[in-house]
Structure 1
Amino acid sequence: MSAHQPIAVFDLGKTNSKLFVIDGNGTVLAERRTKPIWLDDGDLRVLDDGTLFAWMESELARAVETHGIRHVTFSAHGCTFALIGDNALRHPILDYEQEPPADIAARIDLFIPSFAETFSPRLPLGFNYGRHVLWLADRDPEMLEETDAILAYPQFWSWRFSSKAVSEVSYLGCHSHLWAPLADDFSSLVDAKGWRAKMPSFAVAGSHLGIYPVTLGSGEHVDVAVHNGVHDSNSSLFYYRSLGFEDFTLISTGTWVIIFNQACPLEALDQRRDMLANVTVDHAPAATIRFMGGREYDVASDGWTKPISVAAIEAVIFKGSFALPSFAPGGPFRHSEGRFAGPAVSGEERAAVALLYVTLMTDLSLDLIHSENAIVIDGGLVKAELYAPMLAALRNQTVFTSSNPEGSAFGAAALVLRQAGLQPFLNETEEVRPALINGLDAYRREWRRRVEAMHSQAPDGAVSKEMMR
């Protein structure tokens, strides 16, 4: 392939699934969106993969006809898997936001490996997708026996288009309980349950897997090369490394705020704080902390989608209105239930409190992950105009954002181009000017005092005093 040949990237999020057509200059030639449909199937919630596949087929054909696409790849959200047998899905794809029944959880959780082995904390729901595999195995042991391949979510779509089943390390290494980063091998859970034979051979993210024939409206048949997919946040991490960033902290934002800092030693990770080791596309452990910041903002702001002014931020700071964690599962305060404190707020002021909350949660998470290097912010929160400037005002670090916030899609494209020895994308990140917000530092100190007070009562204990600067 040439550097100028456009690539189709399906960027498959939990809430929104997108197609980007990206050329070698980093220009988005086309963008399409849909929402994946999650259905109730008896006592389970599952993906309507057929409807999503039909949309993907249609949009890929359009991209081939309109833009001459000859390559397609995938970037996908975490915590999701597919069981394949006899060249078909053996079970519908589970929504990771559901908890196994208590009696089943008590049985399956006995098999979970130690944090010292996997650097994967014990998380609720299906945030460790190995736990959901255990759940399905407990529900229907025969189904697991008849499963040929346990595929991570992006590899499911690579398989669906190429018919080739493979594994990929960045997804397996994403708090799945299935990977041991220091051993660079499957975890003891995989061998204890006899699943190693069900894990396909590895292929590098972006590598060529096969051909998908597209039939155009004219009747012409076009072969599209299908490439191996990648975990979305790890894709963003690769993208910024490909632009020349080396020692940096990445804040990848969307439904989740996921913070990577490879300069943080793994021994500093505290599993009680939703800290873990991800694994890069090149098999390197990457210290990570996360919270469901996009979801929490939606909940705390009551769905606010309009801009938020400095005046609104300063008004709620002056009033002393706070949002306290957590408004979604997981994160550094997973035993605390989100609530508001101080004078009641509504409308834009409620949204301002929510944005301050997400900013302060990010700030605290950066301290927990020992971030002292440059910061790059990618993803949806870049579009919240005051998020990055307020964070820059709170940190004694250089903060960058990208005019292109779609790092996961661009990382997936860059991985395909890397296979051809190409690295055409230019670094167009910009340094963020810190916001001038009256009272922000004092508000931050009071917010931290409050979260310390409430969290000291939680089973996981208090935030350490050095976090209370």
Structure 2
Amino acid sequence: MRCIAILDIGKTNKKIFLIDEHYRIVWERGACFDETVDEDGDACENIAQLTNWVKNSLRELLQLPDYTIVAFNCSTYGASLVYLDEQGQVLTPLYNYLKPYPAGMEEALHEASGGGEKLCADTASPALGSLNAGLQFYRLKQLQRAIFDRVKYALHLPQYISFLVTGQPLSDITSIGCHTMLWDFTKQGYHDWVLREGLAEKLPPVFPCDHVLPATIDGYNCIAGVGLHDSSAALIPYLTSFSEPFALISTGTWCITLNPFNSSPLTAQELASDCLCYLTYENRPVKAARLFAGNEHEQQVKRLAEYYQTPVNYYQQVAFDPAIFARLLAVSPQQERPVSGTGLLQASRFAERSLNDFTSYEVAYHRLLMDIMEQQQFSSSLVIDRTPVKRIFVDGGFSRNSIYMHLLAAAFPQMEIYAASVAQATAIGAALAIHRHWNTQPLPADLVEMRHYSHGSIYI
């Protein structure tokens, strides 16, 4: 059976898949690693362990008798750089994108680059410290100059994984374009500060995400993609399945609204409201808005469980109740503290509510989701309004939450709302990116499973 091997490397879970020509996952294996620490004692990925796992996993695939591996690609989390010396050896730990950023260093760079607001607008990147991969590279130069001088190539993590099988140090546009503060969206090239600081000469050439390279896995020859940033990879099944304008709300710890049909430059208000731009594997901008709603939900259901003496996951048994929704909706607006604009994004109203005000867990949980939806409506509207989008797809955890989905339909009555799912979307996306090079079959028409939610059905 002809297959493509895909490595899907998340912060917590590392997975390897074999996907056949009909985009069915026919074999998979996963692993989790303990973190190590860097020279400052901050937690980080164990790059040596990850490297060994990649090599050993690919060797294991070659021993499977029923599959012929014709290609390889990968997707990984972003905001992570691997620094290689002239011999291709790793020079530093794989620094965590949550590592505290040195006080004053980011501000100094902003000042030298025309001001923070302009730099953020040019690079479509909110100022996020270590979450801006370019600032990690800048920190290395400022604090570890001897190591910086030895860096031959700085590879984004997907390209490091690809490098392990191709031997080719390259960059890809989905990694560069993901809030790195490296890429100037106004001129479609590295920003002036990247050139001025001598970083650009250590960033290898950009290779198209839909092209392939010759690869060797333990003496076995095949072809390989350059790798992709996971958020961009997860969008590919939708881009290949739908031509009509849509937005995707990808839900997990973060709820990220992705609009591939909004190419307008980021405004100062959007940047202040945690908006940014990604780049698709075809180098098209995707305007995105981030909301920490999954984390808020996780914290508040713990609070509910403690108060009502229920299991933490009891919310999974709570179905949408139109009567509860109508009753809570009837609360006089004068009783609600007015919140607007970016203030809505800081925390939902629910954190300040007294649980004594609710007669049951079910009522309280509906209120929690209504408060989260108030935030979601504001966040998503930032990138959806004034665009041709008429459909919103939701994937991830909240797509399986009937209350969230019904409330989203009420919040956007002019839109078609769908709970959507693609099994292992990032892995499938990485395979789709190089489809024409390895797959002899046409693209399948049933990649995305959908369930429609109508706003009219939630009122009684």
Q: Please classify the TM superposition score into its range, dividing by the shorter chain length.
A: 0.7 to 0.9
1:398 and 1:431 in contact (8 A); partners too? no
Letter matched to residue 353 of structure 2: G
Structure 1 residue 117 corresponds to structure 2 residue 122? yes
| Pair 1:309 & 2:318 matched | yes
1:34 is matched by which residue type in structure 2? A
Query: CA RMSD of the aligned region, Å?
Result: 3.4
Is it true that 1:204 corresponds to 2:202 in the alignment?
Answer: no
Aligned partner (choices 390, 396, 403) of residue 373 of structure 1: 390
Helix, strand or coil at the partner of 1:288: strand
Q: C-alpha displacement at 1:359, in angstroms? A: 3.9
**Aligned with 2:430 (options 402, 409, 412):** 412
Match of 2:30 among 7, 30, 33: 33
CA distance in 2, matches of 1:354, 1:63: 46
Q: Indicate conservation of the 8 Å contact 2:320/2:406, yes or no.
A: no
Aligned to 2:276: 276
User: Does the 8 Å contact 1:120/1:176 carry over to 2?
Assistant: yes
Write the deviation string for residues 184-227 of structure 1: whole angstroms up to 9, x where unpaired.
Answer: 1111121111122111111111432332324xxxxxx6445332
Letter of the 1:82 partner, please give it.
Answer: V
Amino acid at match of 1:203: F
State how far apart, in whole Å, the 1-side matches of 2:229 and 2:184 are: 17
What is the CA-CA distance between 1:122 and the residue it aligns to?
1.5
Instruction: Give the one of 392, 397, 414 matched to 2:415.
Output: 397
2:8 to 11, 22, 33: 11
What secondary structure, in the 3-state scheme, does the structure 2 residue paired with 1:31 have?
Answer: strand
C-alpha distance in structure 1 between counterparts of 2:372 and 2:207, whole Å: 36
Distance 1:55-1:370 versus aligned 2 partners, 3 A rule: same
**SS of equivalent to 2:436:** helix
Tell me which moved more, 169-178 or 239-248. Answer: 239-248
**Residue 425 of structure 1: aligned partner:** 444
* C-alpha distance 317-36 of structure 1, shift in aligned 2 (>3 A): farther
Give the Å deviation of 1:181.
Answer: 1.9
Alignment match, 1:445: none
> What is the rounded CA distance, in whole Å, between the counterparts of 1:319 and 1:264 in structure 2?
34
Q: Judging changes above 3 Å, is the alpha-carbon distance between structure 1 residues 262 and 90 closer, same or farther for their aligned structure 2 residues? A: same
Q: Report the alpha carbon displacement of residue 350 of structure 1 after superposing the two structures with TM.
A: 6.9
Counterpart residue number, 1:256: 254
Distance (Å, rounded) in 2 between the aligned partners of 1:413 and 1:253: 22
Structure 1 equivalent of residue 80 of structure 2? 80
Amino acid at match of 1:257: C
Q: C-alpha separation between the residues in 1 aligned to 2:430 and 2:196? A: 33
Q: Which letter maps to 1:80? A: S
Structure that is richer in helix per residue: 2
Q: Which runs of 5+ in 1 are unaligned?
A: 215-220, 325-330, 440-469
In structure 1, give the amino acid aligned to 2:427.
A
Letter matched to residue 346 of structure 2: S
Q: Distance in 2 between matches of 1:267 and 1:231?
A: 22
Please, what TM-score do these two structures have when normalized by structure 2?
A: 0.80
Q: CA deviation at 1:103?
A: 4.0
Aligned partner of 1:434: which letter?
A: S
Which moved further from structure 2: 51-60 or 165-174?
51-60
Structure 1 CA distance for aligned equivalents of residues 363 and 32 of structure 2 = 29
Query: Partner of 2:17 in structure 1?
Result: 20
1:134 paired residue number: 138
Aligned residues of 1:174 and 1:277 also touching (Cα < 8 A) = yes
Counterpart position of 2:47? 49
- Distance of aligned partners of 1:103 and 1:353 in 2 relative to their CA distance in 1, 3 Å threshold: same
User: Does the CA contact (< 8 Å) of 1:400 and 1:429 recur in 2?
Assistant: no
- 1:247 is aligned to 245
CA distance in 2, matches of 1:230, 1:333: 34
Identical counterparts, % of pairs: 22
Once the two structures are TM-superposed, the CA of residue 289 in structure 1 deviates from its matched residue by 1.1
Normalising by structure 1, we get a TM-score of 0.79
Q: Give the equivalent residue in structure 2 for 1:238.
A: 236
Deviations 1:274-319 (A, max 9, x none): 1122222122222221123433433333394452412689769867
1:91 corresponds to which residue? 92
Partner of 2:334: none
Quick check: which has more Rg, 1 or 2?
A: 2
For the 8 Å contact 2:16–2:57, the answer to whether it is kept is: yes
Counterpart of 1:137 in 2: which secondary structure?
Answer: helix
- What displacement does 1:44 show? 2.9
Whole-Å Cα distance in 2 between the matches of residues 136 and 202 of structure 1? 22
Tell me whether 1:152 sits opposite 2:169 in the alignment.
no
Task: Report the CA distance between 1:243 and its aligned residue.
Answer: 1.4
What is the rounded CA distance, in whole Å, between the counterparts of 2:382 and 2:81 in structure 1? Answer: 30
Distance 1:333 1:209 in 2: 48
Cα offset, 1:413, TM superposition: 0.6
Shift of 1:115: 3.0
On the 8 A contact 1:256/1:292 being kept in 2, the answer is yes
Residues 32 and 241 (structure 1 numbering): CA distance in 2 closer, same or farther, change over 3 Å?
Answer: same
> Is 1:342 aligned to residue 342 of structure 2?
no
